[in-house]
């Protein structure tokens, strides 16, 4: 597992966009045998409400609005964007990739490098590292990373196991080449656990047919078709407990840092029980661990930028309180894959959260 250390990567902007529609988990009484069971579920996962996209809104629309706002606020000449990355598992089409569509909608140059990345809940950390790597190539000065998911479109809304978890969101992150801006990253993979989170049909391994849409009860009691997300909660939980705290410690050690040097630790917002465990295991003060999942749910790969944009906006934008704004980002999920990044947000601007 290579440790990546780059000295010239500045994140100069992060914006996020969520759907206007709210779904309160307290309203899911029809999925549970009693109010007590529902209340217990909400307390364990820590998700009170989620944002759900309209039928005509995709992840790319949420990302477009976040990016358009960010570029306008920063008065960025759009011809200076050298690379556009779109990180999502819920792109517009199987073919073509969504990044070229967004290049056209955003009015970027036809010389912009554009491609999609798909890597579940660890995706933002992986894509951020990819963006940083591109910035170390000659001639590349600005990279725009768009990360968004509309998981509400790929879960069965009557499934009490998964429906209360997932929400929709989009984000935009602008990275620029700038001296004396250290960036640390470590990315890891355990493909032996690929089946823990999957959509069985719809790819070339299992081509979708008329049977793929049949709703059935799975072995773990969850409901859904072969075109809906399946997650083995026990396997995912055991995997994250094993690798995430260790991954955080590894990166800090190799970077010559400790948690005392980190202002905030932003975990992928899977559920509150899991994140609380990580913080306790790492002996990280709760004040250093921001949450957004109570109001937005698990938005998969976009939870990290959404949490930064919604919870840390004032702190990031206030340049007079403290010049050093180091944060640690930890993503983990399907693949199975996980990754950790340490970066500094002292050069970053965050606009107000958008709703569409």
Angstrom distance (rounded) from CA 150 to CA 88: 9
What percent of the chain is helix, strand and coil (3-state, nearest 5)? 35, 25, 35
Instruction: State how far the alpha carbon of 227 is from the alpha carbons of 62, 93, 207, 274, in Å.
Output: 23, 15, 10, 27
Catalytic residues: 121, 268, 298
- Locus of tokens 């790969």: 301
Angstrom distance (rounded) from CA 249 to CA 304: 19
CA angle (7 as vertex; 344, 339 as ends), nearest 5: 60
Please check whether residue 17 is in contact with residue 309, taking contact to mean a CB–CB distance below 8 angstroms. Answer: no
Residues 6+ apart with CB under 8 A from 116: 85, 86, 87, 88, 91, 97, 98, 99
Angstrom distance (rounded) from CA 338 to CA 159: 27
Q: What crossing angle do the helices spanning 123-134 and 303-311 adopt, rounded to 10°?
A: 90
Q: Which of 126, 119, 68, 132 is nearest to 91 (CA)?
A: 119
Angstrom distance (rounded) from CA 290 to CA 302: 15
Calculate the CA dihedral of residues 47, 48, 51, 55 and round it to 10 degrees. Answer: 100
């Amino acid at each position: 597992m290579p440790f990546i250390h780059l000295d010239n990567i500045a994140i100069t902007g992060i914006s996020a966009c969520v759907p206007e529609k709210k779904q309160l988990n307290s309203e899911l009484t029809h999925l549970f045998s009693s109010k007590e069971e529902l209340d217990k579920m909400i307390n364990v996962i820590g998700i009170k409400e989620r944002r759900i996209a309209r039928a005509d809104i995709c992840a790319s629309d949420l990302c477009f609005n976040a990016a358009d706002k960010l570029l306008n606020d920063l008065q960025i000449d759009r011809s200076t964007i050298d690379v556009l990355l779109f990180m999502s598992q819920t792109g517009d089409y199987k073919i073509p990739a969504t990044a070229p569509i967004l290049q056209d909608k955003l009015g970027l140059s036809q010389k912009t490098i554009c491609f999609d990345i798909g890597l579940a809940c660890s995706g933002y950390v992986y894509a951020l590292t990819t963006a940083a790597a591109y910035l170390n190539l000659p001639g590349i000065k600005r990279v725009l990373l768009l990360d968004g998911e509309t998981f509400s479109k790929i879960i069965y809304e009557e499934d009490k196991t998964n429906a209360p978890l997932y929400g929709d969101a989009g984000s935009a992150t602008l990275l620029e080449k700038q001296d004396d801006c250290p960036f640390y990253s470590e990315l890891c993979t355990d493909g032996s656990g690929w089946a823990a989170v999957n959509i069985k049909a719809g790819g070339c391994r299992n081509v979708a047919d008329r049977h793929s849409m049949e709703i059935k009860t799975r072995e773990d009691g969850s409901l859904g078709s072969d075109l809906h997300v399946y997650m083995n909660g026990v396997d995912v939980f055991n995997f994250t407990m094993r690798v995430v705290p260790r991954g955080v410690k590894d990166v800090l050690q190799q970077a010559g840092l400790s948690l005392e040097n980190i202002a905030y630790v932003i975990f992928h917002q899977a559920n509150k029980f899991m994140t609380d465990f990580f913080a306790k295991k790492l002996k990280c003060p709760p004040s250093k661990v921001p949450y957004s999942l109570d109001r937005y749910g698990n938005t998969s790969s976009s939870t990290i930028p959404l949490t930064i944009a919604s919870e840390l906006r004032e702190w990031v934008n206030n340049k007079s309180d403290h010049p050093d704004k180091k944060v640690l980002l930890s993503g983990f999920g399907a693949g199975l894959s996980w990754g950790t990044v340490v970066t500094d947000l002292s050069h970053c601007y965050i606009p107000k959260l958008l709703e569409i």
